[in-house]
Amino acid sequence: MASVSHQPVQGMSDIASPDIALWQMIEQRARGIFARYRFSEVRTPVLEKLELFTHSLGDTTDVVTKEMYMLEDRGGRKLALRPEGTAGAVRYVASGGEESSNARIFYMGPMFRCERPQAGRKRQFHQIGVEAVGVPNPLADAEVIALQVHLLSAWGLEGAEIRLNTIGLPEDRAAVVSGLREAIRPRLHELPEEARQRFETNVLRLLDSKDPEVQKVISGVPPVIEFMSAASRAYLDTVIATLRKLEIHVEVDASLVRGLDYYVHTVWEVVHGGLGAQNALAGGGRYRIDVGGKRIDGVGFAMGVERVIAALEATGITAAQFAPPPPVFIVSLGEAALNENLLLMQMLRQRGVACEMELSARKVQAQMRRADRSGAQRVIIRGDSELEKGIFVLKNMIDGTQQEVELPELMCALEKS
């Protein structure tokens, strides 16, 4: 029979020990911060109706047209693996799951985008995100950014920068698009073919192009805010003033546009110098999504966990620092001791001591090698002769010393450590 490949799907990874320690630290600390800001967790399905994403993210966005994993189930229903968490979270709020005038939710989990895999870009990646729904107010935008900064510091991540911009309201869009086109038109011939098409289809996306030829043309264009209404400018001013009051530093970046259509007003990205070309740790912004006959206004962000980890590692923080405490290892000699040691191991575990032992009767040397590999700093050795005498040999693996002890002494030594 042909054997099946043990490789996961390209661009997707198994995440396990020892790396998992860093993931657990990130998730645990995030939960602590979310509790303080009164956000509660939602776990929405990984699979949603395709139309939820085409409608809310925008049916001409790259995520929808090029990256989404789409499938038809056996009943012919069109579904998609979620490429991000906002659409599902908002659908959940619209379904009546939360008060849509003030819902504060967070999520953690896998997202899927069929992009070309490269450093920092996976096909299954993980986001930790928050959405504050209702409260269409610039103070809510600032509060969510403050939460994000708090999260970064709880993780011990230094060197992250926030770039912030506004994309205004849908009512501003026509003025922004025609203003940008007017400003670019005299130099249109300098743009490469693909950019000239973008000029027609989505001129805003030219602003964040990485192509140096496009950047040269764009550098002379006025910031989008100049084409926006007074109300949209005032909104951004309040967000910036509030952040200043909260002593949160952001870089206003007129070239920042986000790749999803649901945004209105404030948008931002968190970048980190320790990452390569894919330097965005997180993306966020205020959005407006019509779902289930309701218009949902919200503001939120999502951090890419793989990128947070890469940034932490670039600053010298590693999984080893968060590894679980070493276990106590029990070595047995003889059948009777093996059975009694099983009881001892359960008793120690009940008392909060992490414990491991070899369950098949193997030579002492083999058991000691396994003890070593487990990282144990203390080993209990009990064979049939110790059993008869009612004693235990407690070995210190760091200095190699060992002593014979009775049960009360053994418990005392292990519970203290």
Judged by the rule CB under 6 A, the positions of this chain that interact with ligand HAM are 84-86, 113, 115, 121-122, 125, 127, 129, 131, 280-285, 287, 300-302, 304, 306-307
Q: Which is nearer to ligand HAM, 272 or 378 (CB)?
A: 272
Neighbouring-strand partners of residue 112: 124
Q: Which is nearer to ligand HAM, 53 or 329 (CB)?
A: 53
Residue 50: CB atoms within 10 A of its CB come to 17
Element (H, E) at 215: helix 212-218
Nearest to 19 by CA among 251, 264, 310: 310
Distance in angstroms (rounded) separating the CA atoms of residues 263 and 57: 9
Least distance to ligand HAM from the beta carbon of 290, Å?
16
The CB-nearest residue to ligand HAM is: 304
Q: Which is nearer to ligand HAM, 115 or 340 (CB)?
A: 115
Q: Which is nearer to ligand HAM, 91 or 113 (CB)?
A: 113
Q: Which is nearer to ligand HAM, 263 or 329 (CB)?
A: 263
Q: Which is nearer to ligand HAM, 121 or 288 (CB)?
A: 121
Least distance to ligand HAM from the beta carbon of 362, Å?
44
- Phi-psi category of residue 101: left, alpha or beta, with phi > 0 → left and psi -120 to 50 → alpha: alpha
Is 217 exposed, middle or buried (CB count within 10 Å of its CB: 0-12, 13-18, 19+)? buried
Least distance to ligand HAM from the beta carbon of 87, Å?
8
Distance in angstroms (rounded) separating the CA atoms of residues 183 and 224: 11
Least distance to ligand HAM from the beta carbon of 310, Å?
9
Which residues lie closer than 8 Å to 299 by C-beta, 6 or more apart?
131, 132, 140, 141, 144, 266, 284, 285, 286, 287
Distance in angstroms (rounded) separating the CA atoms of residues 196 and 194: 5
Least distance to ligand HAM from the beta carbon of 55, Å?
15
Residue 214: CB atoms within 10 A of its CB come to 22
Least distance to ligand HAM from the beta carbon of 300, Å?
3
